[in-house]
Chains A and B, each alone.
Chain A
Amino acid sequence: MDFQDVCFGYTSVETVHNISFKVQKGDFIAVVGPNGGGKTTLIKLALGLVHPQRGRVRLLGKPPQETRKKVGYVPQLFMFDQTFPVQVKDVVRMGRIDRLKWGFYRKTDDMEVDRALLEAEATELKNRSFSELSGGERQRVLLAQALVSRPEILMLDEPTANVDASVEKRLYDLFKKLNEKVTVFLVSHNLNVVTKHANRVLCVNKTAAIHSTRDLSKSHAGFLSANDMTVFTHSDTCPVSDATELLKSDHNAQMEHYRK
């Protein structure tokens, strides 16, 4: 994934400004930043759901619209009709819909569904109604849907936003395991967990700069413990102290969330 000087705003106000970074094959990138900082917009740009007003986005070397089928995506808030009559296996199969010209799914599709459910540790949910699942179960099913097409990149937009701490840990362990096969690009609020699993951190706010994590860790050791992380931010106007403040405020918000 390659972002070069990308600017975008939903209105006249830019949500992301002059953002540049590269993701290498096999990376586990964690995207952190405050609410409204542009994390989800970054994913939308990467998937070609919105288009940069300036700059260039490349996904697997091509414009995102051409290659996004090779990305497995788990959205931040999966809004769906709770009364929709659909089973888990139907939802997972939808991840292979692009391979179907017409007619019904083939036997190979069903075999891939079983494999993806196994990888997402959700085999036992296969015949359950999707709307009856708990938050954690639903996330594992959506992960299976993302994996069923054998993606090269897994994009996860706050995948643990609505689950408790034990489920969150289980999911992060799962992401780490999956990272042995695919590149993981994950948006999260939980810095402690993120730093444990990610090998690089992309720190996003409206204005920021590229920093090494070592710099960040020096001024913010309590929150970031990994030694070999690089923080990419956008624009060169944001000093290190701002970036650490950014992470601190995010961490405080996280703590407040747990206290509640």
Chain B
Amino acid sequence: MTDFFHDLFQYTFLQNAFLAAILASIPCGIIGSFIVVRRSTYIAGAISHSLLGGMGIAYYLHIAHDLKAITPLHGAIAAAVGAAIIIGTVSSSGKHRTDTVLSAVWSIGMALGIVFIMATPGYGQDLMSYLFGNILMVSRNDLLLMVILNGIIVINIVLFYPKLLAVSFHRELAELRGIRVRIYEMLFLILSALTIVLLVHVVGIVMSIALLTLPAASAGYLFNRLSLMMIAATVFCMLFTAGGLILSYAPEWPTGPTIIIVCGVFYLAAITLSKLMLKFFKRA
């Protein structure tokens, strides 16, 4: 652990990684709490896996056609927002089975990504870092984009929190009070998509659902208000990502999976703690 803190002050890549972990934690705690209480994990899964399609296409254009302005992260943003709009439109129309559409978005996105990455000249070594994340590779430009995405997400939550809460809690009552439910549901999906983009560098596409849901679910066992749950989930997320980064550094374990294991252990501890508290209060 001392190696980590020693190197943290010496190496820029480690400082970037640490900052990325903190930056990703803020929307992860906020949007993750909404995803948990709305039971939208499958939607988040579909959006996160569809990202690979956008990243693969952008990677192909970047390498094969020398379009340097387009990076995989740009592709990820386009794919995530596109997937969110498709899912939102289809589920609000009520004409199609939402789970089927989610499965289609999930698997077609992944398939497109793999095809384009494999078609790109070279070894396609980036595939693994997209799937499982590589926080140690975060650049200054990536950090800048993360700051911008963070700003967009936090500002929208500050502006529309009461409406998002009302729509999430009881759609019909919100509609009766004149809330344009479809607009806020779409906003939630787009904010979820942007949050998932932020998590790609930290834990990758495959494990982003775990980082979105486990800290928020752990907070849900301890707090009975969504606002408190969000704050706690953000703090937990910061602790887990920083903890995973520190733990994985010396033994050179992969950082993303280590972060998820830390999340999982804490989640089990939160379940146990909440059950013990329940027993204690019942006795009292």
Where the two chains meet, the residues of A that have a C-beta atom closer than 8 Å to any C-beta of B are 47, 49, 68-69, 71, 73, 75, 78, 80-81, 83-87, 90-91, 93-95, 97-98, 100, 102-105, 129, 145, 149
SS class, residues of chain B in contact with chain A = helix
Contact: A85 with B161, CB < 8 Å? no
Residue B165 at the chain A interface, CB threshold 8 Å: yes
Q: Mark B155-176, 1 if CB is under 8 A from A, else 0.
A: 0001111110110111011111
Binding stretch for chain A, among B4-12, B221-229, B241-249: B221-229
A102 engages B37 (CB within 8 Å): no
Q: Is B178's beta carbon under 8 Å from chain A?
A: yes
At the interface, yes or no: B72 with Cβ under 8 Å from chain A? no
At the interface, yes or no: B45 with Cβ under 8 Å from chain A? no
Taking the nearest CB of chain A, how far is it from the CB of B90, in angstroms? 22
Q: Decide: A104 and B176 in contact? CB cutoff 8 A.
A: no
| Cross-chain contact B220 with A85 (CB below 8 angstroms) | yes
Contact B176 A86 (CB under 8 A): no
7 contacts between A and B (CB under 8 A): A68-B178, A81-B169, A85-B224, A93-B162, A94-B166, A94-B170, A94-B173
Chain A positions within 8 Å of B226 at CB level = 84-86, 90
Q: Judge if B206 is at the interface, Cβ distance under 8 Å.
A: no
Q: Are B37 and A84 in contact (CB under 8 A)?
A: yes
A85 and B177 contact, Cβ closer than 8 Å, known pairs A97-B166, A103-B158: no
For the complex, give the distance between the alpha carbons of A62 and B175 in Å: 18
B140 adjacent to chain A (CB < 8 Å): no
Assess the B165–A98 pair: CB atoms within 8 A.
no
Contacts of A93 in B (CB 8 A): 162
CA distance A186 to B175 in the complex (A): 21
A155 to chain B: closest residue by CB:
B176
CB neighbours (8 Å) of A85 from chain B are: 37, 220, 223-226, 228-229
Interface assignment of B70: CB less than 8 Å from any CB of chain A: no
Q: Give the docked Cα–Cα distance between A84 and B173 (Å).
A: 15
Chain A residues, CB < 8 A from B275: none
- Partner among A78, A83, A87, A100 whose Cβ is within 8 Å of the Cβ of B163: A100
Q: Which of B160, B161, B177, B225 contacts A98 (CB 8 A)?
A: B177
**Cβ-based interface call for B179 (8 A):** yes
